[in-house]
Structure formats: structure tokens, C-alpha cells
Structure 1
């Protein structure tokens, strides 16, 4: 290191100049160190934030075949499916109504066809039958009209036919019912909950049994999108899935 002395100044004055310069250089160095530490901390925070974002990636839940329909799991573990419209009514009956199943419908136009799936051929419990009847009534026009109940009937799959009586015509989603029917007058009690990471809407008794977190739904005229947002806030789930599970003419029970 070279030191240049000013011959016009004394030795003490020259030493003072270098002392002041050293002080300034030290301050600059300390400032530079602070800047480096600041950016190190910022970089570390960004890395942590990135890792955290990677960890919080939502798990994609596999869609089951029955989710394209209305569905719920009964309080006794039976899968119950129902049509959403004329097209899915056709599919539910033609493709998925099988031996040992039980089919539900109403005499009210526009009602869904609902099927209790019973692949094992077990005796279907009364609670499951009542829940399927409730499900059928809730997604009929009776719910939106504020009716307290609706007559719902059940038949075996072989009693449901696409063959009309002579001179009659069956539109898409409509079927002829032949033989004896059994009628029920279910309560209109409905709820939406989380079942195995999926949004499940169904009779209150079934949702209570299968879902830890749920919201009870009543007949009303609240905007469906507002209801869906409220449910999402309370129990989570995707808005689209919640909307698909909501019957028209509803409100959240307070």
C-alpha cells in the first residue's frame, strides 16, 4: 500500500488526513455489508415463500363416475344417484339402473329419476329408502315451490320402460312405469357437506352421518352464487361443485 504525504503539512496533519479517510472507508464498508445482508435476507425470504407456495399446492381429487349425476352416500353406506336433466335421467335409468337397485320418481313433471345402487344385493334399509325419497323430492319442483313434502314412489328397475302405451309418445328423460308402486311422503331436509374431500349434497340425515363439516339448506330465494360462497367460507370446497349440489330455491339455515 502506497502512502502519499503532503510536504506542506506536518506529520500529524498527514496522519489526520489518513485517519479521516480510513473512517469514511470503514463507514462505506459497513454500509455495503448492511446492503448485502439486507439482500441476503430478502433472497432467503423469497426462497421460503416459493417453497411454501409449492407445499400448498392443492391435491387434485379424482372424479368418480357418479359425480356427473346428482349423488350422495346414504347413512347406511349405499350410493344413491339421480339425473340432473332429461339427458342424465335417460343415462341413469338405461345404463345404471340394475337388478337389486331401487328406482324413485314422482308424478310431478320435471322430477329426477333417482336410483339406490345395490350391487351386493343386500336388503336396502328403511333409512336409505327414506333418504332417497327425500333426495327425489328436493330436486323436484316441489322444493322451489316451497312445498313441505311431495309424494315420491319407488319401483324396481324392470318396471321402468321406454316403451310407451299405444298412441303415446315419451320425450327424452321420460319413462313408463308398469306394475305396483310404493309411495312415500319424505321430509324436505337437505344439507351440503364434505365427504372424502368431495362436496356432497344430500338428505340431512345422510350428510350428518357422513360429513364432519356441513351446512344445512332450507327452501328459500337466496341467490345460489351467494349461498355457494357462504358454504365455501364455512366448510371449503370448490364453488362449481357446491353450485352443482344446490337445489334451486334455497337458502342457508341460520
Structure 2
């Protein structure tokens, strides 16, 4: 290594000068190392975010590309006894499920509250047990105005499809989604009761806890609260890692809520 000495300076001055230069070079080298390390960390973080986004997009793609079942356009759940239960989302879907999907031997559920959804237990030639009846009643209550009003239960009754008619009494008019109920009604004990999970094939299922727990490996319990459904849906999506935000929002009742556990 060659060292330049200045003849107009003493040995001590030359040594001090080269020492200062060496410190500056070392400082620049340290700065370069720190900058390189920071850039490496930034690159690693960008790669982590990219991989996370690619994973999210892939999960979203799978959720969107999955073939939907006919009942997924309605509210739905599978009872703990294995019976399909479908419900209306609004007046139009109430009209559709009663006119097109209520069949002999099915059971239809409704509440005494205005604007209540209709829920149907699809019997498929079998006799649903008490667990299914209670779960259908709980779902009818949960997705009625009882949720938004903060009520813990609501008068829920069941009837057979043959007792439901679109024919109004003299002087009355039935709006879309409204029907006349004739004959005896059976009131069923119920409660606001909601959990949400993802089935093995990726469907988002919301309904009474026992039903969701039976068919979903990961279960989130939801109760009435002041959280926005859109915010709660994001948390649910993060925890379940299934479905889309829109699918989860569609599965939730109307009104404030919070995650219980």
C-alpha cells in the first residue's frame, strides 16, 4: 500500500491527515453498509407483501371460480342434523323461496314482526328433529328485525307450505314477499344465535352455533353490537381465510355487531 507524505507537513501532521481520511472512508463504508442493509430489508418487506397479495388474489380467485349452489343466492345453512335450511334476504327472495322452493313436507318459519324473512327447512322426505326446528327458528329470529333492534328473541312460528297463500282477504292487498297464513301455527322457542364459518369446500355458512360448528372447522361467534358489518367482515375474512369480503357481508344480518369469540 502506498502512502503519500506531504513534505510541508511534519510526520505527526501527515499521520493525523491520513487518520482523518481513513475515518472518513470508514464512515462512508459504514454508511454504505447500513444503506445496503436497509435496502435489503425494504426488498424483503416488498417481497413479503407481494407474496401475501398473490396469496390473497389466489384465494379470491378460488372463491370466485368455485361453482355456486342454487341455494347460495338466499340465506342458507345446513342444520346439525343435515337438513338444508334456506331463507329470504328481502321481499323479492321471500317471494321466490315460497313460490318456487316450498314443497310438500317442508316446514316454513316466520316471525310475527313486520319484514320478517321466511325460512324453509327442506325435508326431502325425512322428518327433521327438534335440533333442526330450533336452529331454523333461531335463524329466522336472528335474520329478522330482532337483530337490529337488539332483541334477544322474537315470536317465531312454523307452518306447512299448504297453509301459505298469496290470496288476500277481501279488501286487503299483499305486497311483494307477503303472504297470508291460514290454519294452526306452532310457535317455537328461539333466540338470537349467530356463528359463521367456512365449510370444507369453501362455502361461507352463517347460522346458529351448533349448525355451523357441525359443518365448519373454524367457527367465529358473532353477537349484536355497534361494529359495522363491513369492518367485522374484514376480521372474519382474515381469521377464516376463506370466501370474499362481499360473500361474508352477504351472510351477516343487517345491523351492528361484534365478534364474541
TM-score, structure 2 as length reference: 0.74
Equivalents in 2 of 1:164, 1:253: separation in Å?
A: 43
User: In structure 2, the residue corresponding to 1:212 is in which secondary structure?
Assistant: strand
SS at match of 2:86: strand
Match of 2:156 among 138, 152, 165: 152
* 1:111 aligned residue (102, 116, 125): 116
**Is residue 2:259 matched to residue 1:246?**
no
| Alignment of structure 1 residues 28-67 onto 2, 5 Å | 58-59=61-62, 60-67=65-72
1:96 equivalenced with 2:101 (yes/no): yes
Is residue 197 from structure 1 mapped to residue 202 from structure 2 by the alignment?
yes
Alpha-carbon separation, structure 1, partners of 2:119 and 2:208: 13
Distance 1:72 1:102 in 2: 15
* Runs of 4 or more consecutive aligned structure 1 residues displaced over 6 Å after TM superposition: none
Give the distance between the partners of 2:177 and 2:166, measured in 1 at CA.
9
Structure 1 position 185, deviation (Å): 2.5
Task: Give matches, 1:104-143, under 5 Å.
Answer: 104-119=109-124, 121-143=125-147
Q: Does 1:80 align with 2:85?
A: yes
Structure 2 unaligned spans of 5+: 1-49
User: 2: distance between equivalents of 1:153 and 1:184?
Assistant: 6
Please list the CA deviations of residues 152-202 of structure 1 after superposition, one character each: whole Å capped at 9, or x if unmatched.
000000001000111111000000000000001212110110012111111
1:186 maps to which of 176, 186, 190: 190
Question: In 1, distance between residues paired with 2:129 and 2:101?
Answer: 20
Counterpart secondary structure, 1:76 = coil
In structure 1, runs of 5+ residues without a counterpart are 1-48
Q: What secondary structure does 2:249 align onto? A: helix
Q: TM-score, normalised by structure 1?
A: 0.76
Secondary structure of 2:172 counterpart: coil
Aligned residue pairs total 203
* Equivalent residues of 1:144, 1:220 under 8 A apart: no
Aligned equivalents of 1:187 and 1:198: distance in 2?
24
Distance 1:164 1:87 in 2: 18
Cα distance between partner residues in 2 of 1:79 and 1:116: 6
Larger radius of gyration: 1
